[in-house]
Amino acid sequence: MKRFIEGEERSQVTLLPECLDDYIADDNPVRVVDVFVDELNLQELGFEGVRPAATGRPSYHPAVLLKICKRLVIPS
């Protein structure tokens, strides 16, 4: 995902809790969404912006935005 704004690595050590992945319980449904969206071919599904432009400010990858959108529409 070059030329996109990169989020924090889930295994990166932080102050509290030890890593970002610790915020989410092992049985939280958001983990399924994370894996599911990562397996989608967003370009074949017609999502725009999968290939970043060479100019301008980097954007967020469409997969990240799709995961957030799912979380807002269907809260667990």
Q: What is the mean pLDDT of residues 61-69?
A: 82
pLDDT tens-digit map of 11-54: 766 666 677 788 888 898 888 888 998 898 988 988 887 877 77
Assign 38 to helix, strand or coil: helix
The pLDDT, as a whole number, for residue 19 is 75
**Gap between the Cα atoms of 13 and 16, Å rounded:** 9
Q: Is the pLDDT of residue 62 over 80?
A: yes
Q: What is the pLDDT of residue 72?
A: 58
Identify whether 54 is part of a domain: yes
pLDDT at residue 74, rounded to an integer: 59
- Domain containing 51 equals 20-73
Domain membership flag for residue 2 = no
User: What is the C-alpha radius of gyration for the chain, rounded to an integer number of angstroms?
Assistant: 14
Is residue 13 one of the residues assigned to a domain? Answer: no
Contact in structure between 30 and 71 (CB atoms under 8 Å): yes
14: in domain? no
